[in-house]
Structure 1
Amino acid sequence: MPVDKSKCISCGACVSICPVNAIRFGEDGKAEIDETKCIRCGSCEATCPVNAIKINY
């Protein structure tokens, strides 16, 4: 999974910037990426203030 939940601060930056709405908050309040929707554009990785997202290209 590309989100390191131990780093995620649930700020919502990734949710807001995702152009295909592939990111949502899970039951634990942390970001989750639906990899079937993700187009690997890197926007979420670039906007995350705590570097919790690493996209495998």
Structure 2
Amino acid sequence: MSGADREVPAASPAPGTRTEIWRVRVDPKACMGTGICAGVAPDRFQVRDGISHPTAAYVPPEDQVVDAAESCPLEAIRVTHRDTGALIAPEE
């Protein structure tokens, strides 16, 4: 089998490339502590002392994180691309 015939698994990033990572932030001044985000993404948000907190500042891309940001009634959650700063959620 020649090198051109071999398949590279799609799940494996090419050497030297980065995998996408998102940054998750909650604005404590805007957060009402409704807990909607924690209900939508319980592994990614916790409400403590009446304010939502992300369980990690940096996460792999996940639909639940976007859904949580989109569900926040005050848009207190911002999800951005770690490397570029591009806004992922909430949609503007």
Fold conserved between structures, TM > 0.5: yes
- TM-score, reference length from structure 2: 0.51
Aligned-pair CA distance for 1:39: 3.7
1:49 — aligned with what? 73
- Verify: 1:31 aligned to 2:52, yes or no: yes
Instruction: Report runs of 4+ in structure 1 exceeding 6 Å deviation.
Output: none
- Distance in 1, matches of 2:44 and 2:28, equals 16
Q: Summarize deviations over 1:34-55 as a string: whole Å, max 9, x none.
A: 2268444311111101000001
- TM-score, reference length from structure 1: 0.77
User: Aligned pair in 2 of structure 1 residues 55, 37: CA closer, same or farther (>3 Å)?
Assistant: closer
**Which of structures 1 and 2 has the bigger CA Rg?**
2
- Bigger relative contact order, structure 1 or 2 (CA pairs below 8 A, ≥6 apart): 1
Structure 2 stretches of 5 or more lacking a match?
Answer: 1-23, 82-92
1:8 — aligned with what? 31
Percent of pairs with identical residues: 20
How many correspondences in the alignment?
55
